[in-house]
């Protein structure tokens, strides 16, 4: 994987945005979001081969906690060190064993075939197309044979805000609250292209416009 797939300055501003956003949070968000697809996540991973599940861009870790509460061996990664601290705090409060690590998606350091499953909830939207492409390839390598990927891709970028666009359509926000944040809405066609060499089991659209994509290696 290349060092950075976007101008390094732009990418650094994106990292700084997430660090700032998480540094202002004093305690983990311990309320699980009311998402209709939570039971499906369990069903998909329960039917997968046994092994660790990677929670990509885990934030303060609600999905890792949800998985661990349900008996999965969860590994949560996020580039924001403070988010990972919050996740560790939460896991400790519940005496859950979760492997939280600070890692940038563009430099994942796990060995190939480490995971039985990977979940990416509301995270690809924060990658450029090129980085998303490289990430899909990397995730496939990280999965064990027959491993399963579960992604939720939000319908984003239609609200108000100040930004400029990169060539691939990624928004780079310039307004005070979100300065530096990358945001990109992936079309169904793009999602199919990103996962073209996987076996796509499901590509569906929720009422919110978010897409669920489930694919196996
Ligand atoms: C919209 S939040 C989603 C968090 C969580 N997955 C959820 O469902 O609530 C995006 C998360 O991805 C993290 N993030 C953004 N870009 C990342 C990158 N390149 N590598 C690792 N984490 C990243 C942010 O710090 C943030 O916690």
Q: Inform me whether the pLDDT recorded for 2 exceeds 60.
A: no
* Closest residue CA from atom 5 of ligand 1: 58
* Euclidean distance between CA atoms 215 and 195, whole angstroms: 8
Residue with the two structure tokens 């990109």? 184
Q: What is the pLDDT of residue 168?
A: 93
Does residue 27 contact residue 88 with C-beta atoms inside 8 Å?
Answer: no
Q: Hey, what domains does the chain have and what are their CATH numbers? A: 40-154+185-216 (3.40.50.150)
87 sits in which H/E element: helix 81-93
Q: What is the pLDDT of residue 161?
A: 85
Q: What percent of the chain has pLDDT over 90?
A: 91
Burial class from Cβ neighbours inside 10 Å (0-12, 13-18, 19+) for residue 143 reads buried
Q: What is the pLDDT of residue 158?
A: 81
134 within ligand 1 shell (Cβ under 6 A): no
pLDDT tens track for 147-201: 999 999 999 988 888 999 999 999 999 998 899 999 999 999 999 999 999 999 9
Distance 173 CA to ligand 1 centre (A): 16
182 within ligand 1 shell (Cβ under 6 A): no
Q: Inform me whether the pLDDT recorded for 5 exceeds 80.
A: no
190 within ligand 1 shell (Cβ under 6 A): no
Q: What is the pLDDT of residue 124?
A: 97
pLDDT tens track for 37-59: 999 999 999 999 999 999 999 99
**206 DSSP 8-state letter:** -
Q: What is the pLDDT of residue 160?
A: 81
Paired tokens of 182: 């990358």
pLDDT tens track for 93-121: 999 999 999 999 999 999 999 999 999 99
pLDDT tens track for 16-39: 999 999 999 999 889 899 999 999
Q: What is the DSSP string of 26-72?
A: -S---SPP--TTHHHHHHHHHTSPSS-EEEET-TT-HHHHHHHHTT-
Distance 155 CA to ligand 1 centre (A): 16
215 within ligand 1 shell (Cβ under 6 A): no
What is the band of 3 on the pLDDT scale with cuts at 50, 70, 90?
A: very low
Q: What is the mean pLDDT of the chain?
A: 95
61 within ligand 1 shell (Cβ under 6 A): no
């Amino acid at each position: 994987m290349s060092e950075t797939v976007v101008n390094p300055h732009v990418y650094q501003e994106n990292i700084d945005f997430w660090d700032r956003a998480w540094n202002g949070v004093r305690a983990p968000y311990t309320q699980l979001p009311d998402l209709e697809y939570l039971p499906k996540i369990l069903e998909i991973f329960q039917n997968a081969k046994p092994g660790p599940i990677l929670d990509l861009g885990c934030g303060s870790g609600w999905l890792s906690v949800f998985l661990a509460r349900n008996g999965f061996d969860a590994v949560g990664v996020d580039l924001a060190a403070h988010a990972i601290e919050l996740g560790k705090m939460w896991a400790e409060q519940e005496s859950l064993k979760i492997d939280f690590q600070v890692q940038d998606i563009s430099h994942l350091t796990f060995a190939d075939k480490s995971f039985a499953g990977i979940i990416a909830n509301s995270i690809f939207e924060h990658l450029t197309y090129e980085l998303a492409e490289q990430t899909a390839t990397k995730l496939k390598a990280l999965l064990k044979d027959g491993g399963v990927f579960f992604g939720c891709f939000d319908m984003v970028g239609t609200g108000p805000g100040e930004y400029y666009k990169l060539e691939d359509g990624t928004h780079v926000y310039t307004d005070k609250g979100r300065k530096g944040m990358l945001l990109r809405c992936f079309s169904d066609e793009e999602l199919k292209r990103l996962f073209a060499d996987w076996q796509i089991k499901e590509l569906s659209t929720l009422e919110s416009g978010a897409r669920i994509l489930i694919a196996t290696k």
